[in-house]
A = this chain, B = another copy of it.
Amino acid sequence: MANELPTGPKGVTLLFGEFANKDYIYTYIGNIIYVESGIQSLFIMENSFWGRMLFINNNLQFTERDEFIYHEALVHVPVQSAPEGKIKKVLICGGGDFGASRELLKYPQIEEVIIVDIDSNIPKLVKKYFPGLLPENPEDPRLKLVVADAYEMVKKFLEEKKSFDLVVIDTTDPDISETGFTQELSHALFSEEFHRMLYELCPEGVIVQQCGTPFTMKNIMVETYKTFCKVYPKEEVYCYRANVPSFGGDNAYIMRCPWKNPEEPKWQELPNTYYYSHEVHRASFGLPKFWREELKV
């Protein structure tokens, strides 16, 4: 029987390798759904465990299976850190995937959500391939999408004397370290100059920025924390975290919140969240000792 053919799957298997670093690779077996090279390289694959996955410039942006954790932590922690009803007008810098807006629009008290994303392909792709990221009512009149560079748009909003109660910076990871990869479009949205403009645009509101996964990548968290502490009053700057399994560890978020005790959630709990609760809100601010050491800056 030595000549019998092996059983099991036949043919070529596509292996997708995502490099956490040069010697550690997340490998997925799956199908290519979509590939596009526009202002950013976009790539969608489908995997039996994670569902559909969006890669921007070859970095995983989100998976269908666990994006809810990333987006709920990004939005509900800052909203609920402010007194109930105080968040009415929200600006999302980046966030063209609609995930952050989906969470914001769950609050009837929020009156206006503006997404400013530089890449017109992202909203198009999400509408077609990731309908789960769209707001419950995709035609919600409170939602406005602007395709523009958020840096330039914030300048324009300042000229127009617009203001916001919450700014959510929901972008790809930037290249901060000298030894990093290609510089990302998001780079400018991590700068001191950008935050000085946001402080003017949102002087009494909350500002939150996603800061990647400190354990496996260059230390965006520490750099962003330093920038926040330069621009905003240091006692109003906080770090919190959420475990997004497909990111390979806890994701860090840096927040400026002028209200006292952001660790204590202030709004009613929503029934339609799957990660976020008041319990997890409080726990998000409890950081590992080695994070706390890194944030002693």
Residues of A within 8 A of B (CB): 17, 20-30, 47-50, 66, 69, 213, 215-216, 243, 245, 248-250, 273-277, 279-280, 282-290, 292
Contact = CB atoms under 8 A, between A and B. Distances in A.
Query: Which of A21, A49, A216, A245 has the largest number of chain B CB atoms within 10 A?
Result: A245
A279 B240 CA distance: 12
Contacts of A276: 289
B23 A26 contact: no
Nearest to A273: B289
Given A20-B49, A273-B289, A283-B286, 18 more contacts: A17-B27, A23-B28, A23-B29, A23-B30, A23-B48, A24-B28, A24-B50, A25-B26, A25-B27, A25-B29, A26-B27, A245-B248, A277-B288, A277-B289, A279-B289, A282-B286, A283-B285, A286-B286
25 contacts: A22-B48, A23-B28, A23-B30, A24-B29, A24-B47, A24-B49, A25-B27, A49-B216, A215-B245, A243-B288, A245-B248, A248-B248, A275-B289, A275-B290, A276-B289, A277-B288, A277-B292, A279-B287, A279-B292, A280-B286, A280-B287, A280-B289, A283-B286, A284-B286, A286-B286
Contact of A245 (B216, B277, B279, B280): B216
Contacts of A280: 286-289
Contacts of A29: 22-25
How many monomers of this protein are in the complex?
2
A228 to B, nearest CB: 20
Nearest to A282: B286
Contacts of A24: 26-29, 47, 49-50
A47 B23 contact: yes
A23 B279 CA distance: 33
Contacts of A25: 26-29
Nearest to A24: B49
B26 A26 contact: yes
A249 B216 CA distance: 13
Contacts of A50: 24
A47 B23 CA distance: 7
A274 B290 contact: yes
A29 B20 CA distance: 12
A279 B243 CA distance: 17
Contacts of A22: 29, 48
A48 B216 CA distance: 12
Contacts of A274: 289-290
A66 B215 contact: yes
A152 to B, nearest CB: 37
A49 B23 contact: yes
Contact of A283 (B26, B249, B277, B283): B283
Contacts of A243: 243, 249-250, 288
